Structure 1
């Protein structure tokens, strides 16, 4: 049986990545940060398990009450690991269209170029997705990925104990 799930759709992934990048300061973030905030965009209820930085918790807790339009995950950490290849495909496709910098991607960062997003693609995001992407891009994606109280440690979605401090 074939079942469609947007989490495994490269085109939906490219849309989500562009939506998050367009709503983050500097329109750039580390690739692993993009993977984490993309997971929160698809499954906002997982925000309830995030250790919020000071000042970001009230809105984050409110958004965490938003049910996912997709399925619930038995293990978000395993799901994030399993979708690594999809994120590589998404970022490679965006780099191929010159929507993100191939040079930055080679260094592990996802950074928007000045190439405009085709047509009215991002205007297709509904209000709920836009609100969530704005919060994730501006408040969560700006948390340093590594180190004490970095995004990997706060989210507990990736191994962080052996990261450089």
Structure 2
């Protein structure tokens, strides 16, 4: 039996990545930050387990009440790990279309180019999508990735203890 899930759809992943990058300051974020905020875009209820920095949690806790339109996860940490290959494919597709900088991607950053956001994709975003992407891109993605107070540590989705600080 074939079951569709947007998390495994490259085209839906491109849509999510562009929406998140459009809402990030400087339209860029580290690759691992994109992986983490993409998980929260797909499964916003997981925000309930996130350790928010001071001042960022009120809106995050409101969004945590949003049920996932897609599914629930038995292990978010395992899911993020399994999605790494798909995220690399999504990034490569965006770089191939000239929507993100290939050189920055080699350095572990996902950075939008000045090429226009495809309008037909933007029209596909629901108001819920835009609100969630705005919060994730402008708030969570701006938390430094590394260290004991970084995004990896706060989300508890990736190993952080051996990160250089």
Tell whether 2:19 aligns with 1:19: yes
Aligned to 1:134: 134
Q: Which moved more, 1:119-128 or 1:35-44?
A: 119-128
Aligned to 2:122: 122
4+ long deviations beyond 2 Å:
none
Aligned to 2:70: 70
- Structure 1 portions without partners, runs of 5+: none
Output the CA distance in 1 between the equivalents of 2:111 and 2:75.
Answer: 29
Tell whether 2:85 aligns with 1:93: no
What TM-score, normalized to structure 1?
0.98
C-alpha RMSD of the superposition: 0.6
- CA drift at 1:124: 1.5
Aligned to 2:156: 156
- CA drift at 1:125: 0.5
Output the CA distance in 2 between the equivalents of 1:64 and 1:41.
Answer: 10
- CA drift at 1:123: 2.5
Deviation per CA, 1:41-96, whole angstroms, max 9, x where unpaired? Answer: 00000000000011111100000000000110000000000010000000000000
Aligned to 1:30: 30
Aligned to 2:42: 42
Output the CA distance in 2 between the equivalents of 1:163 and 1:107.
Answer: 16
Deviation per CA, 1:76-126, whole angstroms, max 9, x where unpaired? Answer: 000000010000000000000000000000000000000112233112200
CA contact (8 A) 2:148 2:161 kept: no
What TM-score, normalized to structure 2?
0.98
- Structure 2 portions without partners, runs of 5+: none
Output the CA distance in 2 between the equivalents of 1:30 and 1:66.
Answer: 26
SS of the residue corresponding to residue 29 of structure 2 reads strand
Figure out how many residues of one structure are paired with residues of the other and give that number: 165
Tell whether 2:39 aligns with 1:51: no
